[in-house]
Amino acid sequence: MAAYGLYTHIASNKFRSMLLLAGLFLLIYVLVFAGALLAEVLLRSDAPVDYYLRAASRDLVTAFPYATGAAALWIVIAYFFHQNMIDAVTGGEDVTRQQQPRLYNLLENLCISRGIPMPKLKVMDSPALNAFASGLNRRQYSVTVTTGLLQALNDQEIEAVLGHELTHIRNGDVQLMVIAVIIAGVVGFFGELFFRMFTNLSWNSSGGGWSSSSSRSSSSSDSDSKGSGGGGAIIVVIIAIALILLAWLLSQLVKLALSRSRELLADAGSVELTKNPDAMITALRKIENRGELPGATSAVMELCVDNPREGFADLFATHPSVDSRVKALVQFAGGHDPGPLALPSDTADAPDEPEESGTAQPPVTRGPWSNAGEPAGVPDPRPGPSQGPWGRRS
């Protein structure tokens, strides 16, 4: 569903959210079928391929209500406790006005000016420069910022970042991103579970587990299927592995449902809230390549203002580049791009480099260092540009 404006973008996010939830159940069924194939091979290793497929299909029908209930339970758990999971990964903690008066007042003023419900405010202790919003309803919405962001940005720039996150909440981007995190988490959990089962299956096969299961079959069936049964079990194991990999790949492709235009719309929404495009531009330039959260998963990074992680050939990148976002703000909001910005922290740890002899230095104004032996503040009576010990060689 294409989005051509703000309201269609919000409607598109709702449609995609429902589509992703339906896709979650489909991925669960694929994983259950793959697990049933592995289980049938564990129980009997001498059967043909069609036997395993029929048996796994019967197992899927039997497990269908349980798989559906497990997926629904996961959604319920994630609905109520997803913020706790995110906080456990990022270390975000709730803050009050007394703890962070500067940050709290900036967010509250933005919400009051536009009649937006005040979300919860969280701060995570990290030198990274980043922020993100999360939540599935008004009572759950929260905005998390890093301590590095608070130290590096001024009030106008922090206000622009907060406006960016409030726009994500208003546009419905947050719900879609959280659902994508839920899907990636549940598929990753079941995928790891079944891969452990496959590891156990390989060990049993090397230790004679398959042959022992075949010994329980009759001698006549053993003679008929020994030549094709082992090969059938191997083929079925390969099919099961392929299904698990397919489910994992589809869970990663969920990122493609996260329209990259959502970041451009959030930048524009921030400018609409703050009336200050330059603050949004300088905030992006300061955050650029400084937003990596140590220990955060890729799903959490997709929630952030900037995700410096790059996908394969930029295919799985969920954020446009900072350059393209800044160009859009300059073109459509009338902002000014200062170019990449250096922060004091970038040079604080840099080793001092000795000056090269003969390197020209910029001229300095007359002062205590302009002319040796002259008192400070006395102008140089000689014509021409002032020169001091930094401008000419003795």
Residue pointed to by tokens 């289980």: 39
- In the structure encoding, which two tokens stand for residue 87, read together? 């906080």
Q: How many CB atoms lie within 10 A of CB 385?
A: 8
Q: Which residues are catalytic?
A: 165
- What is the SS3 string spanning 93-153? EECCCCCCHHHHHHHHHHHHHHCCCCCEEEEECCCCCCEEEECCCCCCCEEEEEHHHHHHC
- Report whether 132 contacts 299 (CB < 8 A): no
Closest of 92, 82, 141 to residue 117, by C-alpha: 141
Q: Enumerate residues 6+ apart whose C-beta is below 8 A from 47.
A: 40, 55, 225, 229, 232, 233
Closest of 182, 168, 194, 171 to residue 23, by C-alpha: 182
d(CA 390, CA 394): 10
- Report whether 241 contacts 198 (CB < 8 A): yes
CB burial string 352-380: b at 16+ within 10 A, e below: eeeeeeeeeeeeeebeeebbeeeeeeeee
Query: C-alpha angle with apex 315: 309 to 316, nearest 5 degrees?
Result: 50
d(CA 247, CA 241): 10
3-state secondary structure of 354: coil
DSSP code string of 158-194: HHHHHHHHHHHHHHTHHHHHHHHHHHHHHHHHHHHHH
